[in-house]
Structure 1
């Protein structure tokens, strides 16, 4: 079996309050790019994970990797030998590990079906994992695990460019640096309406920890997208364009002016 692990972006991410359990109450609009990591699985004597690709070196604990944990949490018959092509940067705001786990859930669903409590099992692996299992636009509330699909996906097929300065930004310190001010609820409406009227409340604290995010945003905005914003807790930023040609021209310009930055082009699902 083969499955794509679609890159996750947060078109909007509103942090409402700190909870007593140490987590944060969120309202976020998840969207997914038709590009990302790649997983394949063949029968094996036991479960086994091997990784390759540009960012595989960051996966230094194969038993603690979220792909292995996803396999362990789901009944899937005999052993699976899973190969992960790690193309998404780690600690980048793209839900890379969560996307990989989501791909495992979808492979198990095709092969054996998922247990009824799969959302709970997914949430135990990470707050983004339930959304990544679906890998289609949805609104997340609570810690991001309570999901509602968006009826009007008017951004399906929208050209998108992802850019990262190749600097990891751990999620915990960004949330810890949030100023605690509730700036209001996420708007309602279609994907485009929410994205344009929304915001990412983690952008200011992430900028404080990684100023290079500001350079990425400025460079993206110079390419005239209709929206450029940081995803998740950073450091990856995304830009949405009206045409594939505009996206590709932006990608070429950034490759020329910032050859050290990572980028990935695609379309919203």
Structure 2
């Protein structure tokens, strides 16, 4: 079996308030790129996980990562031997670990089916994991786990991801948020929401990682119709009207930056 762990984007991310439990109340528009990490798996006597790829070394102990936890948390009669090719940077705002976990859920579903409480099991692993299981455009509320699927008018839209190769942990970015509620997610089509929305974590992320500003400035020079940071950063994305414009933009980025070209699912 093979599954792509599709890179997650927040086309818009509105932080409304800090909750009593320490988490933040969010409204976000999730979208997914048709590229990401790659997982291959086969039935085995016991669960196994091997990690490879450009960013594999950043994960440390394989069975401490979220993909292994997803595998261990899903009941089935047979083990699964997985190879994870880590193509997405770690701590990058792309939900890489959550996407890996989502791909594990889909593999287990094909092999043995998922338990009825799979969504709760996914949420226990991380706020982005439930959205990553299906990897379809949706609106997330609460901590991001209350999902509302939406029909996307942006399927197939060319997208470029750029990361300055600076890891940025989520916790400090949320801590640096100024606490101001700037309003709800707008209504309309996915394109309308993306254009009228914002990412409330962009300013705090910029304060911690100024290189994000350099990436955003470079992308804004490429003719994209939308440029924004994803999640808590440091990855930024740009949406284009044509694959040619996206590919030309990729060529214009600094050689030292990480880039990935794809299309929205």
Q: TM-score, normalised by structure 2?
A: 0.99
Deviation at 1:191, TM superposition (A): 0.7
5+ residue gaps, structure 2, are none
1-side partners of 2:49 and 2:250: how far apart? 33
Q: Aligned partners of 2:77, 2:135: CA distance in 1, in Å?
A: 24
Structure 1 Cα separation of the partners of residues 188 and 249 of structure 2: 29
Distance 2:255 2:79 in 1: 42
Q: Does residue 22 of the first structure (1) align with residue 22 of the second (2)? A: yes
SS in 1 for 2:115: coil
- The aligned length equals 265
Instruction: Give the CA RMSD over aligned residues.
Output: 0.6
CA distance in 2, matches of 1:246, 1:77: 49
What's 2:257 paired with?
A: 261
TM norm structure 1: 0.98
Report the Cα offset of residue 46 of structure 1: 1.3
Structure 1 residues without counterparts, runs of 5 or longer = none
Alignment of 1:39-118 (within 5 A): 39-118=39-118
Moved over 2 A (4+): none
Distance 2:79 2:66 in 1: 17
Which residue in the other structure is 1:223 paired with?
A: 222
Superposed CA offset, 1:136-193 (max 9, x none): 1000000000000113x11000000000000000000000000000000010111100
Instruction: Return the alpha-carbon distance in structure 2 between the equivalents of residues 225 and 59 of structure 1.
Output: 33
Say whether residues 1:134 and 2:134 are aligned partners: yes
Question: What is the CA–CA distance in structure 2 between the aligned matches of 1:195 and 1:176, rounded to whole Å?
Answer: 25
Using the alignment, how far apart are the partners of 1:59 and 1:24 within structure 2? 26
